[in-house]
Amino acid sequence: MLIRVIALVIGMAAATPALTGGDDYDASNDVKGAGPAYFGFVRDTRGSSVVDAQVVLQPKKGKPVSLKSNVLGLYRGHISKDVLPNDVQISCVKTGYKQTKITRRTPPGNNVMFIETECTMLRL
């Protein structure tokens, strides 16, 4: 049963086209010219996935990028390659939840092409 669920989720993610400004779950879309990939999970305080949370990547200068977490709580997207990762603030919003924590992890080897950030939300 678990294998069927995983296959269904993978199939749904593969069938979802990349949208301007978000929902880019396919790592094959990570090309150097696109800028760093911002990705992570939105979870509640118990560790469960928060589906359809809005994740906002807000650069110090420029337009924000709005993403949505999928059925696994995963989000993934890009901002311009001209924006430094340290100049991007990430926040998560969903009705019925309050953001309690943001955890940014530096990938092994400090590769600036992948910026992992986890949002933790409290169910109200």
Check: pTM over 0.85? Answer yes or no: no
Q: Which domains, and CATH codes, for the chain?
A: 2-123 (2.60.40.10)
Q: How many angstroms separate the CA atoms of 49 and 27, rounded? A: 20
Q: How many angstroms separate the CA atoms of 72 and 74, rounded? A: 5
pLDDT tens for the chain, residues 1 to 124: 544 434 444 444 443 333 433 444 555 555 555 678 899 999 999 999 999 999 999 999 888 999 999 999 999 998 888 888 889 999 999 999 999 999 998 666 655 678 899 999 999 9
Asked if 88 and 81 touch (Cβ cutoff 8 Å), the reply is no
Q: How many of the other CB atoms lie within 10 Å of CB of 77?
A: 25
Identity of the amino acid at 9:
V
